Amino acid sequence: MGRAIMEFAKTGKADTLRVLSSMFDEDEIDVPYLFRTVSDMPETERTALSMAEGRVLDVGAGAGCHTLALQEKTSVTAIDISPLGVEAMTMRGVKDARCIDVFDTSLNEQFDTILLLMNGTGIAGKLERMPILLNRLKQLLSEDGQILMDSSDLCYIYEDEDGFIDLTGVEGYYGEVDYQMVYRDTEGERFDWLYIDYETLETIAAGCGLACEKIADGEHYDYLARLKRIKD
């Protein structure tokens, strides 16, 4: 994805980014969408941006569209694991763009708002790793801070014409998928990605000492949630 982002940042043009999965038919990402402005964002993302306050950490910042929308009103640190993506963000005017994994303990600051958008729960990879992600985010969260993340409930994929959810034959949690990004002749490594239903997120969050609140439902089984420390 980093190559596609850099190419569009430099030239304003890019080929379509192909998305492969062992679970779904081949899909595509229109690269300009990664550069969208606030007016082109879905309502859940616009809501998250309106709620962001204090010192902000934008996790998996991609091309930096959320950071650019916020940094004129507050301090934002954008992180991503793609060196080309981070270089492109810097070119676009992101003031604090870092190539670092959120799990890297050298990232040891605290933030008032942590953003994980565009299915931010995905970076957990597997359901069993969701507590690891939440506990790591909790380490980076200021005492009264908030985590704003979105995800989708993939149950609709298994819904029959009568509205019954049939998970027969599904191994593991039904929201666990795998992807591979392909841009021209560059094939990225296959990676795990997690979509999680709200009720499961709420339960796992409670086990991590975080209160979970659904802020908004999206247009297609997606939602925005806010997590905060549970006070004694």
Instruction: Return mean pLDDT, the chain.
Output: 95
Q: pLDDT tens-digit profile of 153-198?
A: 999 888 887 778 888 878 889 999 999 999 999 999 999 999 999 9
Percentage above 90 pLDDT, the chain: 88
Q: pLDDT tens-digit profile of 90-123?
A: 999 999 999 999 999 999 999 999 999 999 999 9
DSSP for 138-173, please give it.
Answer: HHHEEEEEEEEEEEE-GGGGGB-TTS-B--TT--S-
CATH number of this structure's domain 2-229:
3.40.50.150
**pLDDT at res. 178:** 95
Domain boundaries, the chain: 2-229
* Nearest one of 181, 24, 203 to 130, comparing CA atoms: 203
pTM, whole model, 2 decimals? Answer: 0.95
Burial 136-158 (b: 16+ CB within 10 A, else e): bbbebbeeebbbbbbbbbbeebe
Instruction: Give the three-class secondary structure for 30.
Output: coil
